[in-house]
Structure 1
Amino acid sequence: MRALDLDYMLGLVPVLLGYVPLTLGMAAAGMALALILASLMAVERVFQVPGLDPLVKLFISFFRGTPLLVQLFLFYYGLPQVLSFLTNINGVTAAIMGLTLHFSAYMAESIRAAILGVDRSQWEASQAVGMTQIQMMRQIVLPQAARVAAPTLINYFIDMVKGTSLAFTLGVTEMMGATQKEAAGSFLYFEAFLVVAVMYWIIVEGMSFLQRQLETYLNKAYAR
């Protein structure tokens, strides 16, 4: 059994750190877009708009029921053959698109559950003072639902950060893609993948710490 090449591992760290911004950037862009789309779908699912509700259900069912890797391949390799304007789509755009649609399907259900968890008296009181449904959702329901949904949404963001590791299959050189190239050049696969695994671990633990801090902050107003 050979010893680990610690010098190689230490030298690899600064190389991979250079790709952290791209990894986190793809996750942040995907999260922002997914949050907008998921919120719209969640509100639709609550009010069940005729004609639109079956389409939203189909969307959620498809993206929850198929693997993320398959969806990435579908967007990057498949859609350009059907939609000519997507011929020049790059790997980063396809990855963000895949992350957005995949995780929005999960987030929509979480947000819907949080909305339905708001006490019905809040809904009734809003209607009693003459608020429209849009005003009620924006000013009363969604702020309360956000507190409930926040921990789950942060978990999805953490999953999204890990999901960016699949972007290397589309030719994107992010943390995982850079590791693959470095390992192929050195043949030190164990050391290379161990380094990137620890780096992902540290990033996730940092986000988990921030999640706990956010939960504490959000729950202060409800402390008895």
Structure 2
Amino acid sequence: MQTTLDFQYIIELFPILIKYLGVTMEMALLGFFLSLIFSVIIAVIRVFKLPVLHQLAGLFISFFRGTPLLVQLFLLYYGLPQLLPVLAGIDAFTAAVLGLSLHFSAYMAESIRAAILGIDKSQMEACFSIGMTRLQAMYRIILPQASRVATPSLMNYFIDMIKSTSLAFTFGVAEIMAKAQMEAASTFKFFESFLAVAVIYWVIVIFFTRIQLFLEIRLNKAY
């Protein structure tokens, strides 16, 4: 039985895993883009307290924040096609992206809502005084200011989303976690394989954490 760490194997594994990094980042970027759209819509609904939609948005947030991401992914990929046959042809990659976007939009919506509510009410009143509607004031004045406040938490969710893409391997998406699992199963070098993939995720997170710090400094420069 092997009792020493095979550093040579880890070094040789890095180039193999990095080839699948594109799939991981594509899932994370697409998921974050969709999450941002969903979360802004949900946040605006919650801020304006639109009848019926406000209650539905609250239910959406409660469900996706109150259940595990893995369960949501399985419901989406395996469960929904039983109820909606039109979804029977959905592929694993699309299901993973959609699942990630729905899950994280529930969290991001609350961050954006808090950022919007943190903007002084006089800003909205000033918009009304020059003839803007609520929606015009929201996307021209309020949301740009709220984006500065929400950026740190949104970047944290994006980093968390990158790590959560590893769950997609459970239903066959060929990303770096799936490749690490296959390499471990074929060589029985489980510790080395998972250590290599952990290091890759760690480096990615450090990189985007640096970007987050840069954005925070840049956005707060005027303040």
Structure 2 length-normalised TM: 0.98
1:37-58 CA distances to partner (integer Å, 9 max, x unpaired)? 1000000000011121111110
1:63-105 CA distances to partner (integer Å, 9 max, x unpaired)? 0000000000001111111111111111101100100100000
3-state SS, counterpart of residue 174 of structure 2 = coil
Gaps of 5+ in 1: none
Instruction: Quote the residue 2:148 is aligned against.
Output: 147
What code does the residue aligned with 1:125 have?
A: A
What code does the residue aligned with 2:96 have?
A: A
Q: Distance in 1 between matches of 2:70 and 2:103?
A: 10
Gaps of 5+ in 2: none
Give the total of aligned pairs. Answer: 222
Instruction: Quote the residue 1:75 is aligned against.
Output: 76
- Amino-acid identity (%): 59
3-state SS, counterpart of residue 78 of structure 2 = helix
Deviation at 1:33, TM superposition (A): 0.4
* Aligned-CA RMSD value: 0.8
What code does the residue aligned with 2:222 have?
A: A
Q: Distance in 1 between matches of 2:164 and 2:30?
A: 13
- Structure 1 outlier segments of 4+, above 3 Å: none
Matched, 1:174 2:161: no
What code does the residue aligned with 2:136 have?
A: Q
Q: Distance in 2 between matches of 1:52 and 1:199?
A: 41
Deviation at 1:170, TM superposition (A): 1.1
Deviation at 1:134, TM superposition (A): 1.3
Instruction: Quote the residue 2:61 is aligned against.
Output: 60
3-state SS, counterpart of residue 90 of structure 2 = coil
Q: Distance in 2 between matches of 1:40 and 1:81?
A: 29
Task: Point out the more displaced range, 184-193 or 81-90.
Answer: 81-90
Instruction: Quote the residue 1:127 is aligned against.
Output: 128
Q: Distance in 1 between matches of 2:52 and 2:122?
A: 29
Instruction: Quote the residue 1:103 is aligned against.
Output: 104
What code does the residue aligned with 1:92 have?
A: F
Deviation at 1:114, TM superposition (A): 0.2
What code does the residue aligned with 2:187 have?
A: S
3-state SS, counterpart of residue 126 of structure 1 = helix
1:8-53 CA distances to partner (integer Å, 9 max, x unpaired)? 1111000000011100100000000010010000000000111211
Deviation at 1:128, TM superposition (A): 1.2
